[in-house]
Amino acid sequence: MEQGPIVTVLHSDSVPGADLMAPVAGRAEVRYTTASGLADAVRGADILFVYDFSTRAVPGAWHAADRLSWLHMGSTGVDPVMFPELRESEVMVTNTRGVFDTAIAEYVLGQILGFAKDLAGSLRLQQQHEWRHRESERIAGASVLIVGTGTIGRAIARLLRAAGMTVRAVGRQARTTDPDFGAVGTDLHAELPAADYVVAVAPLTPQTRAMFDARAFAAMKPHARFVNVGRGELVVTDDLLAALNTGSIAGAALDVVDPEPLPTRHPLWDLPNVRITPHNSGDFIGWRTEIVRAFTENFDKWIAGRPLDNVVDKELGYVPG
């Protein structure tokens, strides 16, 4: 009998449910491993499913990947595996693009509303038992610049436009008539001065790393708020901290930071105009089920010899739009 493929599943403390992996387990040998055992588990494997997509273990075990042909990331971002040896190999990389789009868009809208309506301030007054009438901002008519034009950026744009906001974007290719963004520019610093809110959702690549630095924050309006749902390394953290402390920008909502997790004594925690969440903007109830389903559906295509969904361009570091 012909031996089936070997699938290695890299997990942390949470293992994909057997029922979810049943479509794979019936046709392949499935090896489950944590980071410490990855080198042994990937030796001889055809497929690596990086279920623990926050891991940094893959480069250290790459020497043992002697038969690998496909690596699937259980996330949209693939920067943890974009090391030179993988880029130069014949191994195909796919991601889980699309699963987290709506949840992240809802998070961004929620943070924008939180700033405009000062929900944190209302909660503080409630905790102090203080009835104080205040006015709030409207978001309808406010301008948003979305930096990153992938599917998450598009979902954010559609939701914010539905809420009455004016949307533009920054991406690799300029266009004047985009169905979601309206217009897309390529010069970040030229676009920043017009935005009331700036949303970072770009993938982490050599070109985008540290793109939000002192110069970028200086180009923003003093009343502008910055929302980062991309990667912490898109931002020079010390420059963001300085911009917030000096009033160069009015606030920041950070689902991702650099370093991550944020040290307990980091000054960002204590700034009143900062909202921090622990990299969970896309983690809706049931997300683990959805990322396994995305893998098993692609596995069906791999077995059948059909083209896979969400193939990453390893030179770009993301799935081309």
Under the banding of pLDDT at 50, 70 and 90, the label for residue 247 is: very high
β-sheet with 29-33: strand ranges across: 29-33, 6-10, 47-50, 70-73, 92-94
Residue count (the chain):
321
Domains 6-99+285-304 and 101-276 share a fold: yes
* CATH, domain 101-276, list 3.10.580.10, 3.40.50.720, 3.90.1150.10, 3.40.630.30: 3.40.50.720
Domain range summary for the chain, segments of one domain joined by +: 6-99+285-304, 101-276
Catalytic residue among 72, 154, 168, 279: 279
Per-residue pLDDT tens over the stretch 286-299: 999 999 999 999 99
Q: Residue holding tokens 């040998």?
A: 29
72 assigned to active site? no
pTM over 0.85: yes
The answer to whether the peptide bond before residue 84 is cis (omega within 30 degrees of 0) is no
Sign of CA dihedral 163, 168, 170, 176: positive
Mean pLDDT of 111-139: 97
Rounded CA-CA distance 267/273 in Å is 12
Q: Which residues pair with 17 in a beta bridge?
A: none
Q: Hey, what are 273's tokens?
A: 């105009």
Per-residue pLDDT tens over the stretch 10-41: 999 889 988 999 999 999 999 999 999 999 99
Catalytic residue among 97, 168, 231, 275: 231
71-95 in b/e form (b: 16+ CB < 10 A) is bbbbbbbbbbbbeeebeeeebbbbb
Rounded CA-CA distance 44/65 in Å is 7
Q: How far is CA 274 from CA 16, 105, 248, in A?
A: 35, 19, 14
Catalytic residue among 29, 106, 137, 260: 260
**Rounded mean pLDDT of the chain?**
96
279 assigned to active site? yes
Q: Which residues pair with 303 in a beta bridge?
A: none
Calculate the CA dihedral of residues 68, 72, 77, 82 and round it to 10 degrees. 0
Under the banding of pLDDT at 50, 70 and 90, the label for residue 225 is: very high
Amino acid identity at 316: L
- Are 292 and 17 a contacting pair, CB within 8 Å? yes
Fold of 6-99+285-304: Rossmann fold (3.40.50)
Residues of the chain with pLDDT > 70, as a percent, come to 99
Mean pLDDT of 216-234: 98
The answer to whether the peptide bond before residue 261 is cis (omega within 30 degrees of 0) is yes
Q: What's the pLDDT score for residue 28?
A: 96
Sign of CA dihedral 222, 106, 103, 190: negative
88 assigned to active site? no
Q: Hey, what are 36's tokens?
A: 């410490």
Give the number of C-alpha atoms closer than 13 A to the C-alpha of residue 35, restricted to the C-beta side.
11
